[in-house]
Amino acid sequence: MSHAEPATAPTQGPAALLEVRGLTKSFGDTPVLRGVDLTVRRGEVLAIIGPSGSGKTTLLRCLNGLETPSGGTIAVVGGLAVDFAQRPSESVRGLLRDRSAMVFQHYNLFPHKTVLENVIEGPVIVQRRPRQEVVAEARSLLERVGLAEKADAYPSALSGGQQQRVGIVRALALRPQLLLFDEPTSSLDPELVGDVLGLMRDLAREGWTMVVVTHELPFAREVANEVVFVDQGVVAERGTPEQVLRHPQQERTRRFVDRLLHPM
- Contact between 159 and another protein (CB under 8 A)? no
- Contact between 246 and another protein (CB under 8 A)? no
Q: What strands lie across the sheet with 210-213, from one edge to the other?
A: 100-103, 178-182, 210-213, 45-49, 226-231, 234-239
Residue selected from 2, 52, 86, 156 as contacting another protein according to rule CB under 8 A: 156
Per the CB < 8 A criterion, the answer to whether 235 and 229 are in contact is: yes
Measured from the CB of residue 72, what is the shortest distance to another protein in angstroms? Answer: 21
Where helices occur in 126-236 by DSSP H, the ranges are 131-144, 160-172, 190-205, 217-223
Angle among Cα 98, 11, 245 to the nearest 5 degrees reads 75
Taking residues 169 to 198 in sequence order and writing x for each that binds another protein by CB under 8 A, - otherwise, the string is -xx--x------------------------
Number of residues that bind another protein (CB under 8 A): 28
Query: Angle, nearest 10°, between helix axes 160-172 and 131-144?
Result: 140
Span between the terminal Cα atoms of the chain, in Å: 49
The interface with another protein within residues 91-130 (CB under 8 A) comprises 94, 97-98, 101-102, 104, 106, 108-112, 121-122, 125-127
Measured from the CB of residue 68, what is the shortest distance to another protein in angstroms? Answer: 12
Sites of contact with another protein (CB under 8 A):
1, 64-66, 90, 94, 97-98, 101-102, 104, 106, 108-112, 121-122, 125-127, 154, 156-157, 170-171, 174
